[in-house]
A and B are shown apart, each in its own frame.
Chain A
């Protein structure tokens, strides 16, 4: 009897340990996180629509129905990445995520120069290099320092009504996400 009790207590204790271990392993091994879903949908440095408007199921769920969104994956080990989008939309916002989906930095059109989306994401080490001799065409860009290698950049744009749909779609489709030489 005593040894059964012993086994039960040991089992409960083990359950607690397993609970904690599994909890911390889920983010490490998840194949359903945003990075893996985007990786299945497209390559690095390619803007991908997240909403269902472009056809098919949404890549990443739970986007506001009055918003369109696009994302691209990047790897800062290859160099700086620059994201630009032309055109005027009522509201846009952008976020930089690390590869496990943590929001590291976010800003919106009121934070940007002339409400244009023009951003460079780089590591602190690359920032030191760029600062030494800032290229002319990067003067107006927003610099986002992120201590990561792989990451995700997401642009969200507001669609107030039906008539804005083509304009907002064009804004996202013409947005570019590319490696920047410096």
Chain B
């Protein structure tokens, strides 16, 4: 009798413990269902729509996100450079090559919660396409780091993990048909502070 009670309790504890933990784990993982990867960049075009999967829906509700609509824009997040190393705030990077069609784009350096990093200076860790200098072939080269650089400079600083968030506004790639042949800029590491 006691054995039965203990076994029942064990099953119940397992069910509730494992079930609850697995949901918590799945919702905290950065990667998810419905992601589109282009190079090192990841986007979730369906997040925040009625067509989203249950995991995205739960994440949206838990984090209070109001996702960009299709006519507004599409955000890509990168957490690694082209060599596959995680992005770090103490390192300098070069972001180069072309960008897909859009009215304009913005690029900012973000922390774990995808908010812009605090540089501690009046200059924000953000750039947008109307203010960048272009190469003769219309591509853009951006230097990322905590030391001023000629050309386009994205200020970062501090230590720890970093993400790049690249958002295209009023763009045809937000409608899923355009996503297949989109190229996004490459992220190359230029060096690190020891």
Would A26 and B62 count as touching, CB distance under 8 A? yes
Which of B11-19, B81-89, B144-152, B177-185 lies at the interface?
A: B11-19
The majority secondary structure among interface residues of chain A is mixed
Nearest CB of A to B108, in Å: 5
**A156 surroundings in chain B (CB, below 8 A):** 72
If A8-B14, A26-B61, A102-B48 touch, does A71 touch B54 (CB 8 Å cutoff)?
no
Would A16 and B48 count as touching, CB distance under 8 A? no
Interface residue tally on A, bucketed by range = 35 or more
Number of B interface residues, CB 8 Å?
60
**B18 surroundings in chain A (CB, below 8 A):** 11-12, 15, 18-19
A123 at the interface (CB under 8 A from B): no
Would B7 and A105 count as touching, CB distance under 8 A? no
Would B104 and A97 count as touching, CB distance under 8 A? no
Within 8 A of B (CB), among A31-77: 32-34, 36-37, 50, 58, 60-62, 64-67, 71
A129 and B55 alpha carbons, distance in the complex (Å) = 38
A161 at the interface (CB under 8 A from B): yes
Would A10 and B11 count as touching, CB distance under 8 A? yes
The residues of A with any CB-CB pair to B shorter than 8 Å are 3-4, 6-8, 10-19, 21-24, 26-27, 30, 32-34, 36-37, 50, 58, 60-62, 64-67, 71, 91, 93, 95, 97, 100-108, 110-111, 152, 154, 156, 158, 160-161
Across chains A and B, which 9 residue pairs bring their CB atoms closest together, nearest first?
A106-B69, A18-B19, A14-B15, A11-B14, A15-B18, A27-B61, A7-B7, A65-B116, A93-B72
